[in-house]
Amino acid sequence: MTDDRFPLLAPYLTEARKQRFAEVLEQRMHWVTAVTEDLYDPHNTSAVLRSCDGFGIQTAHIIEVNHPYRVAPGVSKGAAKWLDIERHTETRSALRDLKSRGYAICCTTPHTSDTTPEDLPLDRPVALVFGSEGPGITEEAKAEADYFVRIPMFGFTESYNISVAAALTLQTIARRVRSTNGLPWQVPQEEHPRILGDWASKTVKDAQGLLNRLRSGEEPPRL
């Protein structure tokens, strides 16, 4: 079924907003996705989502085993509404689902010196898994890992806060993806109507009510 939301709502968006949508979507990628594993502090999850939006990563996965995610508006700054967020209740099934989609599972940990964000292979899409505050990634996540990623540290501190680690890792890998010739990293054109429809629906006031009126042939409100 064709997604008609953006064509219907476009007249109620400013030209500047439509141009901004086009510019952002041109830089969006699925080649990298972030996975948070049962973080208990919603501020940290929101900070990861904000980094995803800032670095052009369209989809994020939130694994909620014992700690349901609650949006922290002051941290995310509304970033969550521009992303595709998939929520899961179990680590193993979430990571195996990502593997079935072609993703390499890359667990971030300061304890295993396997590879770094600068050296991680990018020949296939990567799912970067960020573990819970304190204990880090679980044994279930480690069992599914294709790679372990560690940010090099040169001081006495063993690791960064999860939000800092995510920002550093995502920034480095997103930059590398964009600069690697031949990677089909951009969101496919066939997904654009759905994403634009999502964004327009979250921008136009009472978008669903307006869509219902336009689809039923009622007189739309004056522009």
What is the 3-class SS of 160-171, one letter each residue? Answer: CCHHHHHHHHHH
Rounded mean pLDDT, 2-8:
94
The backbone torsions φ and ψ at residue 108, rounded to the nearest 5 degrees and listed phi first, read -90, 130
Radius of gyration of the chain (CA): 19
Extended strands (E) in the chain = 32-37, 59-63, 84-88, 104-108, 126-130, 147-149
Give the residue-averaged pLDDT of 147-174. 90
**Is residue 77 scored above 80 in pLDDT?**
no
Looking at residues 161-178, what average pLDDT do you find? 95
What is the structure's pLDDT at 76?
Answer: 43
196 contact partners, CB below 8 Å, separation of at least 6: 5, 6, 21, 25
Q: Model's pTM, two decimal places? A: 0.90
- Contacts of residue 142, defined as CB under 8 A and 6 or more positions apart, other chains included, come to 107, 148
- Residue 164 pLDDT greater than 70, yes or no: yes
- Residue 71 pLDDT greater than 80, yes or no: no
Mean pLDDT along residues 88-92 = 94
| Strand-pair category, 126-130 with 84-88 | unpaired
User: 29-186 domain in CATH 1.20.140.10?
Assistant: no
Examine the pLDDT at 74 and tell me if it is beyond 60.
Answer: no
What is the separation of C-alpha 28 from the centre of its chain, rounded to a whole number of angstroms? 10
Domain spans of the chain, in order of start: 29-186
